[in-house]
Amino acid sequence: MSRVDLLALLPYLVLGAAAVLELLVIAWRRHHGASAWICALGLMLAFAALFVAAPHTPRAVTPLLLIDGYALFYTGLVLLAALVVALLSHGYLREQRAQPREEYYVLLLLATLGAAVLVASDHFASFFLGLETLSISLLGLIGYPRAIAQPAEASIKYLILSGLSSALLLFGIALVYNELGTLSFAALAPGALGVGGPGAGPRDFTSLAGVALILVGVGFKLSVVPFHLWAPDIYQGAPAPVSGFVAVVSKCAVVALLLRYFLAARAFDAATLTLLISVIAVLSILAGNLLALLQDNVKRLLAYSSIAHLGYVLVAFLAGGALAVEAVSAYLVAYAITTLGAFGVVGLLSRPGQGRDADSIGDYQGLFWTRPALAAVLTVMLLSLAGIPLTLGFIAKFYAVTAGVGAHLTAPVTALVVGSIIGLYYYLRLIVALIRPAPAAPVVASGAPAEVPSGPRARACTGTLGGTVMAVLLLALVVLGVYPSPLVSLIRHTAGTLTAAADSLAARGPR
């Protein structure tokens, strides 16, 4: 391994080192604040290392990892999202003194490392490695407040379903390997699945079944319909910052990987697969939005909304080609910011010591009048999820529709429009709850206010750290929503290089 290889790998090395350092520090002395800061610093350093790695891209480091602009873009997204989660977790865990809190950050770093490896992987082995690192760490994170039943239940559910999906995934990989004799994506491209020019694809049943199984495994991670059943339970059970992490980091990384794989395998040429994905997309959009209508629990609502949003991402994904990469990337950035913001507000309102997060819609009633800043943040996040202008969500939806219309995807685009209209209702419902007059605290006979468990009014201050993070997210959402030009350029110059590479590979033709 040469010096350049090491430089290209630097972000990943920094992440790994931070995890190890974290463990050593815990072994030496437990200190919640220090652990949180090591985690945050590690993530920041890894992010800085992206700029060190950038000049050396694209570079294949071992057959497993391909460090290119695309990988760096998504690694950056994953790192920033993890940083937000780490900072929010600090405030969330601060009051939870019943059990050790420091290992949480180790798990967070490892999960992030898994996600980062995932987006850079160019080989089924690294794909699986990254995915499992991510999933197993998430398992610990979801069930971290182990004294409470709900997170533990969520953790077990995630363990079983994640194990099942991994098994299906492995079987799919085995089938593809059986057909092609290689596990490397790069080797897939010119020959393999798509021998011949456009129009050809994985015609063979075995490899088609393999790709379909891979899709099923990935579908579980993305929680798209019909593989979505775990999502609401786990979002509800997990601590709010972890729910945000599951919704954002793990999904973004898996989408990024799927896109890379599909472009490399020229799977967009296979009509069966695109049909399969459009069915999944339409179902996710409709089912996600319709089920979200029924929710009275904000975390479950966000879970169903996230299912619908993954459906929107798949619409952009289906377009294939350069526009799809741009649209998916833009959408994921918007999705990451808004989802983290929404779960961030949930986390900031919650008092973990009291057994449940502030996730009932009643907890949010009148928030505008009791805690206007947080309510305003949540409103903007919800408007962004609904795709209203002045927010990045609008640009993202615009991008997704552009990609869909450009590729003549009639049914998915129709579903997107219909789904967005349905979606408005539950986002507005939550906003309406925010602006309703706050319910008066029930007064017991003695005259003292009754205990309001985990209500938003139970805690007066957000803490400057949480507030700052929210402000930054809000600012990013609005500034990029009004002036998205820099983001578009960034995506073109980093993630956009993926299609250029794929095109040049395709141009080389079959060997």
Partner 1 sequence: MMLAWLILVPVLGAVIAAVSGRAARDAPRWIALAALAVELALTVAIAVTAPGGRWLAHTHWRWIPQLGISFRLDLDGLSLVLILLAIGLTALAVAASWREIGERVGAFHSNLLFTLAGIVGVFLALDLFLFFFFWELMLVPMYFIIALWGHERRVYAAIKFFIFTQGSGLVMLVAILALALAHRRATGVLTFDYFALQGTALSPRIAFWIMLGFFFAFAVKLPAVPLHSWLPDAHTEAPTAGSVLLAGVLLKTGAYGLLRFVVPLFPQAAHAFAPIAMLLGAISVLYGALLAFAQRDMKRLVAYSSISHMGFVLLGVFAWTALSLQGVVVEMVAHGISTGALFIVVGMLQERLHTRDLARMGGLAAELPRLSALAMLFAIASLGLPGLGNFIGEFLILLGSFTVNRSLTIVASVGLVAAVIYALALVQRALHGQPHALRPAGAPLLDLGARETTVLAVLTAAIVWLGVYPRPLFDAAAGGLDHLQQGAPLIAVASPAPTPAPNSTPTPAPTLALTLALTRAERPR
Q: Is 421 in the site for partner 1 (CB under 8 A)?
A: yes
By CB under 8 A, the residues from 344 to 403 that bind partner 1 are 383, 386, 388-390, 394, 398, 401-402
Q: Is 321 in the site for partner 1 (CB under 8 A)?
A: no
Judge residue 151's burial from the number of C-beta atoms within 10 Å of its C-beta, 0-12 exposed, 13-18 middle, 19 or more buried: buried
Q: Is 490 in the site for partner 1 (CB under 8 A)?
A: no
Of 149, 411, 435, 471, the residue at the interface with partner 1 (CB under 8 A) is 435
DSSP characters for 208-274?
HHHHHHHHHHHHHHHT-TTS-THHHHHHHHS-HHHHHHIIIIIHHHHHHHHHHHHHHTTGGG-HHHH
Residue 439 DSSP label: P
State the minimum distance, in angstroms, from the CB of residue 336 to partner 1. 20
Of 56, 157, 203, 429, the residue at the interface with partner 1 (CB under 8 A) is 429
Cα 223 from Cα 212, distance rounded (Å): 16
Q: Is 405 in the site for partner 1 (CB under 8 A)?
A: yes
3-state secondary structure of 67: strand
Judge residue 447's burial from the number of C-beta atoms within 10 Å of its C-beta, 0-12 exposed, 13-18 middle, 19 or more buried: exposed
Count Cβ atoms below 10 Å from residue 178 Cβ, excluding itself: 11
Of 424, 441, 505, 506, the residue at the interface with partner 1 (CB under 8 A) is 424
Q: Is 164 in the site for partner 1 (CB under 8 A)?
A: no
Count Cβ atoms below 10 Å from residue 507 Cβ, excluding itself: 8
State the minimum distance, in angstroms, from the CB of residue 323 to partner 1. 10
State the minimum distance, in angstroms, from the CB of residue 50 to partner 1. 22
Q: Which CB, 149 or 435, lies closer to partner 1?
A: 435
The residue assigned the tokens 């000049």 is 55
Q: Which CB, 187 or 424, lies closer to partner 1?
A: 424
Q: Which pair of structure tokens corresponds to residue 422?
A: 């349905």
Of 492, 500, 505, 506, the residue at the interface with partner 1 (CB under 8 A) is 492
State the minimum distance, in angstroms, from the CB of residue 485 to partner 1. 5
Count Cβ atoms below 10 Å from residue 63 Cβ, excluding itself: 16
Stretch that binds partner 1, among 77-85, 241-249, 307-315, 413-421 (CB under 8 A): 413-421
Chain contacts with partner 1 (rule: CB under 8 A): 383, 386, 388-390, 394, 398, 401-402, 405-406, 413, 417, 420-421, 424-425, 428-429, 432, 435, 483-485, 488-489, 492
